[in-house]
Amino acid sequence: MSDTFVLVHGAYHGGWCWRRVASRLRAAGHEVFTPTLTGLGERAHLPAAEVGLGTVVQDVVAVLETEELTDVVLVGHSFGALAVLGAADRVPARIRRLVLLDGLVVDSGQCAFDGLPAEVRAQREADAARLDGGAAIPAPPATAFGLTDPDDLAWVNRRLTPHPLPTYREPLALSEPIGAGLPVSYLYCANPPYTALASGHEIVRREGWAWRELDTGHDAMISAPDLVTAELTRG
């Protein structure tokens, strides 16, 4: 059966990071969209100071609406999980199920920084203050995302861009319970774990969402594309 996948990247990344998974899904006959969120990737020239969480939620909603997509498998990696959860709240009828790949999860009314340890928030705020204008968080080295292959590290380091700081400060605004009543699967990348996301795992357990562990690092779509593809098509 052919499915429609919309794959949403995380902080510092862009739609480019899904290349390996997208090619595998397309080869299997699926339709795939890999939007880049405002202010990142090939859209990094746009002013970061004007990009809040609502902006990136609208980025995802706009893809679903303008492409007239329905019955979508909507996937969010890391920070992208918040964009996906926000979009699901807005247009649940267009979505069949959600997949959060090592996603950052917070409750409605909380911001992305609320889902991170205090010391991580402080470091990112300080790093942003050192950039010209202080509106974006500089990207860490690719090793921070659990990658070890030299070619992967070189590729990712070339592509990472600063992430708009306001997206971490603006609260997630939901009108419905988190997940919008849709089936949700959480793919936990366990080797090595990205420990900054641990508080969101309590929400996953509370909501009773499906939990699966992957034997790879945080940027699983790069380090283990076959494994991620298999999980996304598992249903």
Q: Which residues, including other chains, have CB under 8 Å from residue 181's CB and lie 6 or more apart?
A: 92
Paired tokens of 146: 């659990």
Cross-sheet strand order for the sheet of 72-77? 31-33, 4-8, 72-77, 95-101, 184-189, 210-214
Burial of residue 131 (number of CB atoms within 10 Å: 0-12, 13-18, 19+): middle
| Nearest CA among 89, 86, 138 for reference residue 112 | 86
Using CA atoms, how far apart are residues 119 and 132, in angstroms rounded to an integer? 22
Q: Kindly write down the DSSP assignment for every residue of 14-29, as one continuous string.
A: -GGGGHHHHHHHHHTT
Choice among 2, 78, 185, 223 that is catalytic: 78
Q: Is the Cα dihedral 216, 185, 108, 166 positive or negative?
A: positive
Paired tokens of 112: 């992305």
78 part of the active site: yes
Rg for the chain, CA atoms, rounded: 16
Question: What is the set of active-site residues?
Answer: 78
